[in-house]
Amino acid sequence: MDTSRLLRTTGTVIAAAGLLLSGCTSDGSGGPKAVASSAGGTAPAAASTAVPAALRPYYEQKLSWRDCGVPGFQCATMKAPLDYAHPESGQDVDIAVARRQATGPGKRLGSLVVNPGGPGGSGIGYLQAYAGIGYPAAVRARYDMVSFDPRGVDRSSPVQCLTGPEMDKFTQVDQTPDNAAERAELVAAFKQFAAGCQSRSQRVLPHVSTVEAARDMDVLRAVLGDEKLAYVGASYGTFLGATYAELFPGRVGRLVLDGAMDPSRPALEMNRDQTGGFETALRSFIKDCAKQSDCPLGKGGPEAMTEQLKEFFRKADAQPVPSGDPDRPLGESLATTGVIAALYDESAWPQLREALTAAMNGDGSGLLSLADSYYEREADGKYANLMFANAAVNCLDQPPAFAGPDAVDAAVPSFQKASPVFGAGLAWASLNCAYWPVKATGEARALTAKGAPPIVVVGTVRDPATPYKWAQALAQQLDSGVLLTYDGDGHTAYGRGSACIDTAINQYLLAGTPPKDGKKCT
């Protein structure tokens, strides 16, 4: 698992997507200066209000809505240029879009576009399973709830890399190599993954950056008939939203960026920050576990309990635990992924206690199930393309965290300082982009969105995947950023039980009144 940047929301693992699996960030535009290279550009400039002639057919297209097969929802396919630098080439990508129309009562406010994170999370899946039916009724009454699968994701010209059996093997490779042979095996696995993406997705691979996804989002805004974009982005979706605002500040409506990323952090720093975030979440879990009668980590205090978990991982590394699937015993890599998956949302802590108890007693099926939810593996052995799209976007959006294994070796101590439990594995997981077949087109940079109206940035104090300091940084970078803080656990804050957070965001979405900058909720 590469935690380099798969930022998930609690809508898909146990809800949407989850860690910066390989690196994550974003940008977008429609003006002639928006992109400096064919792949999307390094430093997007604000787009002009006029749509270039070559892009007008895309901006003026009419969507043909049809039944989705899910009651209450409609679907359509939007065309976007494969390469925004050469829209006249005639090469397109298909962007899958879905909506649930405003239910009323009250005056319709337009469309509210939502994104669940990832990168690689399916917006359509998120809309149909959660946002379109679970957002506050007052919001759904006045907005058409809309989402899309970003280019390269699921239904939108998806990136493909490995077969199901190949992916099964990839997820089991030891990510804490103890010797030269294990190190070589891990490097070979990353190279095979990258080669698979190149051979199966060569056409789209250079064109799935966050910049391009943000530009697609502006086309979507136009074809939906909205003058301004109203948007709620979670996790990686905050980077997508901030990128949109940087490119189109004059087209920004009401933007909520929940579980925010800091676009100015280079990949290495971002991955290390996130490693520390999972350590913080683990400590919260351990503190709670000590109070429960079914805690499998004992009652000897935080350090002793942490050592119990580390010892379990060491044993799983030496002798994988039977899982019920003879081809996929629970080794250290899958066990670690299962634990991390449950740390995204404190509501999963009881499930994690149960799964750990079983695994420590010789039944790894529960932790394997958690790992499968993280990787979006189906019971038939097929994988959604989440992990493929995640790597493809992350490896385009920033240069790799590490150039090779020697650089990882040098950084492991700092990762272990950030997390004694997860540090080594997450350091090695950050190596994947080193072997990517397409050169990165983006770079870490602050986004200011000068001229945009107030943008609400939400941070959770003990967020495992997007550390709170990232929200503080993004709110400060944005000229009109407004910081809203949730003093709680879990990944993201909106719709997760805080009436204070929900009321503040609802007021902003419905009346356009942002919370006071610095407002804190519990």
Assess whether 2 carries a catalytic annotation.
no
CA distance 170 to 321: 18
Could you count the other beta carbons within 10 Å of the beta carbon of residue 237? 36
Is 463 a known active-site residue? yes
Helical axes 210-223 vs 236-247, angle rounded to 10°: 70
Q: Mark residue 276 as left, alpha or beta (left: phi above 0; alpha: psi -120 to 50; beta: remaining).
A: alpha
Name residue 390's amino acid: N
**H-helix or E-strand spanning residue 334:** helix 332-342
Burial 117-150 (b: 16+ CB within 10 A, else e): bbbbbbbbbbbbbbbbbebeeebbbbbbbbbbbb
Which residue in 201, 491, 498, 502 is the catalytic one? Answer: 491
- The number of residues in the chain equals 522
Catalytic residue among 463, 489, 498, 502: 463
What's the Cα-to-Cα distance from 385 to each of 38, 68, 160, 167, 171, rounded to whole Å? 24, 20, 6, 11, 14
- Among candidate residues 4, 111, 122, 235, the one labeled active-site is 235
Phi, psi of 67 (to 5 degrees): -70, 140
How many Å apart are CA 348 and CA 327, to the nearest integer? 26
Q: Is 235 an annotated catalytic residue?
A: yes
> Rounded to whole angstroms, how far apart are CA atoms 431 and 391?
11
- Residue 157: both structure tokens together: 């010209």
Distance CA 508, CA 123 (A): 22
- Which candidate, 88, 403, 41, 3, places its Cα nearest to that of 206? 41
Q: Residue 365: which residues within 8 A CB-CB, separation 6 or more?
A: 323, 324, 358
Instruction: Write out the catalytic residue numbers.
Output: 235, 463, 491
